[in-house]
């Protein structure tokens, strides 16, 4: 299936509406400071970090895989989603943004991963911490019963 990160969110919740502007601000910092070449939804676009639309990006040509997308509040139903990164370099930006979303909205934005918290997610934890985020010491990955997977 491939190396994948999963997330679940109620995109219409009050918590998501309240946390979204902060997530957009943090995502801008992550995209600018991750040290990885990123593109937008298409190879010719810049990464999209838009408070009205979404956060959308992929790895640069040759280092791309699946496009990562988190919609703005109200633009999606409560659901789970995923992004296969295949461990390509842009995985750092994906995991850092997912971690930040969970830190900002822990009750409504759940994350889990094929990756290991102690090893695979260490670069994301370091990046979030370097940008001023308070990173949990233990894994925030949601247990399967809380995933809301269908």
pTM of the predicted structure, to 2 decimals: 0.93
The answer to the question of residue 147 being in a domain is no
SS3 of 86-145: the string is: CCCCCHHHHHHHHHHHHHHCCCCEEEEECCCCCCCCHHHHHHHHHCCCCCCCCCCCCCHH
Q: Determine how many CB atoms are found less than 10 A away from the CB of residue 106.
A: 15
The answer to the question of residue 136 being in a domain is no
The answer to the question of residue 77 being in a domain is yes
The answer to the question of residue 140 being in a domain is no
Q: Is the pLDDT of residue 139 over 50?
A: yes
* Band of pLDDT at residue 43, cut at 50, 70 and 90: confident
The answer to the question of residue 34 being in a domain is yes
Q: What percent of the chain has pLDDT over 70?
A: 93
Structural domain for 119, as ranges: 4-131
The answer to the question of residue 13 being in a domain is yes
* Band of pLDDT at residue 145, cut at 50, 70 and 90: low
The answer to the question of residue 72 being in a domain is yes
Give the total number of structural domains in the chain.
1
* Band of pLDDT at residue 150, cut at 50, 70 and 90: very low
Q: Please indicate whether residue 121 or residue 150 has the higher confidence score (pLDDT).
A: 121
């Amino acid at each position: 299936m491939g190396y994948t990160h999963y997330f679940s969110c109620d995109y219409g919740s009050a918590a998501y509406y309240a946390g979204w502007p902060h997530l957009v601000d943090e995502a801008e910092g992550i995209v600018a400071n991750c040290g990885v070449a990123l593109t937008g939804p298409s190879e010719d676009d810049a990464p999209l970090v838009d408070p009205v639309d979404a956060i959308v990006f992929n790895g640069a040509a040759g280092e791309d895989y699946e496009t990562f997308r988190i919609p703005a509040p109200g633009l999606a139903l409560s659901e789970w989603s995923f992004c296969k990164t295949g461990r390509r370099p842009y995985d750092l930006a994906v995991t850092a943004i997912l971690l930040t979303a969970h830190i900002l909205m822990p009750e409504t934005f759940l994350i889990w991963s094929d990756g290991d918290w102690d090893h695979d997610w260490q670069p994301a934890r370091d990046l979030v911490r370097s940008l001023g985020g308070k990173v949990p010491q233990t894994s925030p990955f949601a247990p399967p019963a809380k995933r809301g997977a269908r």
